[in-house]
Every structure is written in C-alpha cells, then in structure tokens.
C-alpha cells in the first residue's frame, strides 16, 4: 500500500441527549442521543464548500447579533425574523445533499438503554470474588464518569473506520479525519482518547497507581487486556480530530443534516431501533446513509 493516505473528511455534529450516564433517570428514557457525520472525499470536498457557501452566507448574514450560528437557534423564540431565511437555507441544503451526495454515517442511542446498561454494570461489583491482593487501585470505587457522548463517539469511530476500509483500494490508504464545529479542549481530549481506545481494542495497557496495605506504600503498575479474535478488532483508518468552528459551510451542512435526522428518529415509536435500515424509512436523505444494520449494538443493552 502507498504511504500517502487519501483523505476522507467527516464533518460531525451532535443532537439530543448528552451528559453523565450515571445521572440518567427513567423520566428521560425516551430521549435520544445522536452523533452524525457528513463524509466528503478529497476530490469532492472543495466543490462542496463552493456549492454550500451561498446558503451559509445567507444564513450568517440573517443571524441576529446575539444568536448562535446553529439551525435550531433560528427557530427559537425571539428569532422569528431569522426563521424564513433558515427554512429556505435548510431546504436548499437538503436538495444539495442529493446532488453532492456526501456519505452520511450516524449512530444513535436511547437513554433507556444507556441507563439500564449502567445499572447492570453497577451490580457487577457485588458479585466479584473476594479480593486476594493487598493492593487497592486508586479511584477504583470512584463513580463512573462515562457519558452518553462516549458511547456515540466510540460507535461512530468504528463505523467511520469501516467506511475508510471500503475506500482503501488500488494501493491507496484512506484516512478519515474527524471535524467538529466548536468544542472545548477538554472535549477534544476526551474524544481523542475514545478514538485511541478503538485503535487498541485487541491489546491495551493502562498505567495505574495503588496502595499496598501490607507494605504500606504507594505502588505503580499496569492493567493489560488482550482479546483474541479471528478478525481485526483495532481501527486502522482514523486520523485526527480537528476543530474548525461554526464559520464553515460544511459545518452548517452537518448541523442541518444532523437535526433533520434527529427529528426523523424522534418520530419513531418508543422501542423502535434507531440504527437499523428500517429506522430510516421515509427519511429524505435515506439513500445517502451507510452503516445501518439489524441488531446494532447501540440498540441493545
């Protein structure tokens, strides 16, 4: 294979539920978390920017001074003068998607499943065998800091890697770069850590510190995990995380596509799968989506 990768650019946006899984209550069971990517190949990227720029400029110029450059803000109370422009730009973008044909990759999860999975995990310590080691690991009893977004970025990374593999051919290695609109450094670091985890699923090593109660001293070590499988487990085609801000036409395009998909998925009956081919039936951009599958892990505990 060639050492020089061809680049796929995935513009990513989120909609719906987010936050700590441990804080989820049954009253939020019907909520949905969604992370969606518009993927452009390097040969079509510049043309797409050019095609989406006029609509982006119109949307930006109509924005009230204190509003965010976000399509849902155009429909918020107090922004009524912005709404007609936003509706036209949204319609124009939806039509352009079917002309420019970016690939859409997404992952969605119901809060009920995240809540139940967390509760199930919380019951595991009670069934653990009696500790034989005299060493306790720092932070092992700390409350989980797992977030709804962690599930989403992890699953989306796996799907984007699979797509990158399909585009790796004729000696060219495809690399998928993940592009976000406006997220702070702490979130960037968290997403990068999650992506790096997918690159080391088959073998991971984590440095830890603990306390040896017998020797009465602090000790350090590593927790290593190895998984044997007959098929590749580690992602190989994911590049870096880039933050480009909201002043970009394809960021607005991802915003519009994501919120349009979120509205569609929100109309499904409670309990209906969110990541199956049937989940997209009737959605306007259904034909652009790849990666849906029956019994997707995001639809299971």
Read off the pTM. Answer: 0.88
Distance between CA atoms of residues 183 and 186, nearest Å: 8
Distance between CA atoms of residues 221 and 196, nearest Å: 21
DSSP at 131: P
Distance between CA atoms of residues 249 and 54, nearest Å: 9
Distance between CA atoms of residues 164 and 232, nearest Å: 14
Contact assessment for residue 152 and residue 35, using Cβ atoms and an 8 Å cutoff: yes
Radius of gyration of the chain, Cα coordinates, nearest whole angstrom: 22
Q: pLDDT higher for 45 or 201?
A: 45
SS3 192: helix
Helical axes 249-266 vs 83-100, angle rounded to 10°: 90
Give me the pLDDT at residue 77, please: 94
**Which pairing describes strands 32-41 and 203-212: parallel, antiparallel, or unpaired?**
unpaired
Exposure pattern of 69-87 as b/e (b: 16+ CB <10 Å)?
A: bbbebbeeeebeebeebbe
Distance between CA atoms of residues 233 and 236, nearest Å: 9
What tens digit of pLDDT does each residue of 21-39 get?
999 999 999 999 999 999 9
Give me the pLDDT at residue 126, please: 47
What tens digit of pLDDT does each residue of 171-211 get?
677 899 999 998 999 999 999 999 999 998 887 666 767 77
Of 66-75, 116-125, 159-168, 193-202, the least confident: 116-125
Give Cα separations from 143 to 92, 149, 150 (angstroms).
46, 17, 16
Tokens describing residue 52: 């989406």
Give me the pLDDT at residue 34, please: 98
Give me the pLDDT at residue 227, please: 78
Please measure the distance between the N-terminal and C-terminal CA atoms of the chain and give it in whole angstroms: 39
| Domain ranges for the chain | 5-132+146-199+235-299
Contact assessment for residue 91 and residue 74, using Cβ atoms and an 8 Å cutoff: no
CA neighbours within 13 Å on the CB side: how many for 52?
Answer: 30
Q: Give strand ranges (E) for 143-289.
A: 173-180, 203-212, 217-226, 238-243
Q: What is the CATH number of domain 5-132+146-199+235-299?
A: 3.30.420
- Tokens 């259904």 belong to which residue? 286
Mean pLDDT value across the chain: 89
Average pLDDT over residues 134-146: 74
């Amino acid at each position: 294979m060639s050492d020089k990768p061809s680049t796929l650019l995935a513009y990513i946006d989120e909609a719906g539920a987010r936050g700590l899984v441990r804080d989820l209550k049954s009253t939020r069971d019907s909520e949905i978390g969604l992370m969606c990517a518009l993927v452009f190949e390097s040969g079509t990227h510049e043309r797409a920017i050019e095609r989406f720029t006029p609509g982006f400029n119109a949307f930006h110029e109509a924005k009230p001074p204190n509003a965010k450059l976000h399509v849902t803000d155009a429909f918020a109370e107090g922004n009524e003068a912005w709404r007609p422009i936003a509706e036209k730009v949204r319609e124009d973008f939806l039509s352009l998607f079917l002309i420019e044909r970016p690939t859409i990759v997404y992952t969605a999860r119901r809060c009920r499943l995240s809540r139940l999975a967390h509760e199930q995990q919380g019951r595991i310590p009670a069934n653990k065998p009696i500790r034989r080691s005299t060493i306790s690991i720092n932070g092992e009893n700390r409350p989980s800091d797992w977030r709804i977004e962690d599930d989403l970025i992890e699953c989306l990374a796996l799907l984007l890697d699979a797509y990158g593999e399909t585009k790796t051919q004729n000696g060219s290695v495809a690399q998928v770069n993940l592009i976000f609109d406006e997220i702070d450094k702490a979130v960037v670091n968290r997403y990068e850590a999650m992506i790096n985890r997918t690159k080391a699923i088959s073998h991971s090593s984590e440095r830890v510190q603990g306390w040896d109660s017998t020797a009465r001293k602090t000790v350090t070590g590593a927790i290593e995990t190895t998984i044997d499988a007959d098929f590749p487990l580690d992602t190989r085609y994911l590049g870096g995380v880039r933050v480009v801000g909201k002043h970009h036409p394809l960021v607005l395009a991802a915003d519009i596509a994501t919120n349009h998909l979120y509205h569609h998925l929100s109309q499904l009956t409670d309990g209906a799968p969110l990541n199956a081919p049937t989940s997209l039936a009737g959605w306007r951009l259904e034909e652009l989506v790849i990666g849906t599958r029956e019994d997707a892990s995001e639809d299971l505990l």
